[in-house]
């Protein structure tokens, strides 16, 4: 009787790489994934971030910046997580203001008006937490922005934090608006109003309002959280990278062919078109 040799268990790195490969393959084919296989399924945030860290390698994309998901109590409840999550903005997924953003394969079909910050200097990992003052001193510019998230996990609301992190915290497409005037540094972003509208052609479908207070209480607080989350993970928030801090209102529901715009008053506007096909 032959005895079959037992296969060695995967290392954590191998499991993280396999998870990233499976997720990226599903992104490329626009297929959904109920759950990752048991042998590479992350079971905690650390493993989820480890899988996410392999996405640039398996995709051949570079990291242009970061997004923060679930920066409100409502957002956290919607996807059943206990706090905010960081994801990577990858090359090929970042668009200029006014761009037509692909709708094909996107199941969430929403746009999220956000405050985004471009970094003027590196914030490397350090033992002590960064203060908000230190983080804001490292910022070059503030930008109005629209995030168009999505997930390969179905249903993403039941996937859990670890798998959502592996799926890049629902990062898909991102539209970066123009740099705001420097007057933003003297404003209270926690109460700053944003007005959004969704149209189809020349027909107004609806409008929606929000404030910076919906982003962990203040977009500056969210950016500081991200800097410290990356520091804890041993990652440098790099000069030139952009951080989009989370939606400042209930996400804007979109249908193919719709246009979405967000007006930040003196800080500028950002807009996009959700492609017909």
Whole-number pLDDT of residue 191:
98
Q: Which domains are present in the chain?
A: 61-274 (3.90.850.10)
Asked if residue 274 lies in contact with residue 258, where contact means CB atoms within 8 angstroms, the answer is yes
Whole-number pLDDT of residue 70:
87
Whole-number pLDDT of residue 205:
98
Whole-number pLDDT of residue 80:
81
Whole-number pLDDT of residue 9:
60
Task: List per-block mean pLDDT (blocks of 10 residues) for the chain, which spans 277 residues.
Answer: 48 96 96 95 97 98 96 82 94 98 96 98 98 98 98 91 96 98 98 98 98 97 98 98 97 98 98 96
CA distance 25 to 213: 37
What number of helices (H) and strands (E) belong to the chain? 7, 13
């Amino acid at each position: 009787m032959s005895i079959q040799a037992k296969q060695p268990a995967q290392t954590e790195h191998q499991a993280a790489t396999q998870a990233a490969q499976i997720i990226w393959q599903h992104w490329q084919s626009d297929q959904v994934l109920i759950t990752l296989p048991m042998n590479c399924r992350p079971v905690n945030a650390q493993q989820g971030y480890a899988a996410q860290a392999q996405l640039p390698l398996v995709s051949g994309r570079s990291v242009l910046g970061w997004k923060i998901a679930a920066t409100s109590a409502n957002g956290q409840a919607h996807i059943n997580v206990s706090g905010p999550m960081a994801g990577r903005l990858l090359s090929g997924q970042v668009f200029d203001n006014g761009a037509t953003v692909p709708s094909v394969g996107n199941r969430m079909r929403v746009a999220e008006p956000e405050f985004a910050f471009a970094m003027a200097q590196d914030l490397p990992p350090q033992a002590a937490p960064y203060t908000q003052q230190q983080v804001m001193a490292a910022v070059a510019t503030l930008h109005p922005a629209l995030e168009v998230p999505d997930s390969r996990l179905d249903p993403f609301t039941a996937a859990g934090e670890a798998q959502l992190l592996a799926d890049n915290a629902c990062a898909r497409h991102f539209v970066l608006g123009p740099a705001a005037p420097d007057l933003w540094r003297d404003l209270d972003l926690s109460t700053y109003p944003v007005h959004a509208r969704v149209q189809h052609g020349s027909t107004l479908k609806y409008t929606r309002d929000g404030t910076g207070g919906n982003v962990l209480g203040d977009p500056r607080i969210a950016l500081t959280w991200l800097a410290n989350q990356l520091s804890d993970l041993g990652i440098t928030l790099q000069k030139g990278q952009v951080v989009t801090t989370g939606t400042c209102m209930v996400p804007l529901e979109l249908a193919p062919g719709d246009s979405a715009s967000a007006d930040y008053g003196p800080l500028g506007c950002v807009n996009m078109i959700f492609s017909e096909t």
